[in-house]
């Protein structure tokens, strides 16, 4: 892994055999991003359940490796899919309805995309490959 890349870190909150519960630490990029509320629930920590062969204890700080493909897929899902639904909703509604109603339909269609994203996250979210690289 290239050391110039920003590293993801986490705090071990519990250890149960080889299963480790890690609270994801928000990086500097998250603090500056206006959209950080989409990636993390406001006020709630992101707790990951990971397998690790490292000797870890509660309170340890660890470096995490998130697969690049997973990052790209998650970004597309969160940021691109709602925009596609917005435009698709408008184009479909505009064929049959007037412009004002088409705009409202487009926003409703975009809101529906968040439901679809939530379902995708529940179904395939566990497939995102996140590994504990090392203890810091």
Report the C-alpha dihedral over residues 19, 20, 23, 28, rounded to 10 degrees.
Answer: -110
Burial of 88 (0-12, 13-18, 19+ CB in 10 A): middle
Residue 43 lies in a domain: yes
d(CA 128, CA 27) in angstroms, rounded, equals 19
Residue 78 region by backbone torsions, left for phi larger than 0, else alpha for psi between -120 and 50, else beta = alpha
Residue 2 lies in a domain: no
pLDDT for the residue numbered 34: 53
Residue 3 lies in a domain: no
Question: 31-40, 57-66, 107-116, 120-129 — which is least confidently predicted?
Answer: 31-40
Residue 27 lies in a domain: yes
Helix (H, G, I), strand (E, B) or coil at 65: strand
Residue 20 lies in a domain: yes
User: What range does the domain containing 30 cover?
Assistant: 8-135
Residue 24 lies in a domain: yes
d(CA 91, CA 96) in angstroms, rounded, equals 9
How close are the terminal C-alpha atoms of the chain, in Å?
16
| 58-99 pLDDT, tens digit each | 888 888 887 777 778 888 888 899 999 999 999 999 999 899
Structurally, the chain folds into a number of domains equal to 1
Provide φ and ψ at 105, rounded to 5°: -65, -40
Residue 1 lies in a domain: no
11 with 25: CB under 8 angstroms?
Answer: yes
Residue 18 lies in a domain: yes
Tokens 């509660």 locate to: 58
| 1-20 pLDDT, tens digit each | 445 454 778 888 888 887 88
pLDDT for the residue numbered 36: 53
d(CA 67, CA 116) in angstroms, rounded, equals 23
């Amino acid at each position: 892994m290239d050391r110039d890349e920003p590293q993801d870190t986490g705090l071990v909150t519990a250890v149960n055999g080889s299963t480790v519960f890690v609270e994801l630490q928000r990086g500097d990029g998250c603090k500056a991003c206006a959209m950080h509320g989409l990636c993390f629930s406001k006020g709630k920590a992101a707790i990951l359940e990971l397998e690790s062969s490292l000797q870890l204890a509660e309170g340890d700080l660890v470096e995490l490796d998130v697969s690049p493909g997973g990052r790209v897929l998650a970004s597309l899902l969160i940021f691109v899919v709602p925009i596609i639904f917005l435009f698709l909703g408008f184009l479909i509604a505009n064929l049959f309805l007037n412009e004002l109603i088409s705009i409202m339909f487009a926003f409703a269609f975009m809101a529906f995309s968040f439901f679809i994203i939530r379902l995708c996250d529940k179904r395939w979210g566990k497939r995102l490959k996140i590994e504990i690289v090392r203890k810091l």
